[in-house]
Amino acid sequence: MLSPVLLVVALLTVLTVTMESDHWTADQQEKFCTWQCLKFTLQWPGSFCLGLKNSSQCRIPPNIQTWTIHGLWPSKAHTCCRCWPIFHSDLKELDPELSQLWPSLLKTQSSFLFWKDEWIKHGSCAACVEGMNSPLRYFQICLKLRGRFDIDRALEDAGIKPSCNQSYPGQEVLVQVKIPLSQNLTLGCHHKEDQGAEPEPPQLWHTFPGHPCPQDSPVFYFPINHDHPHQPCD
Active site residues: 70, 118, 122
Task: Return d(Cα 174, Cα 46) in angstroms, integer.
Answer: 9
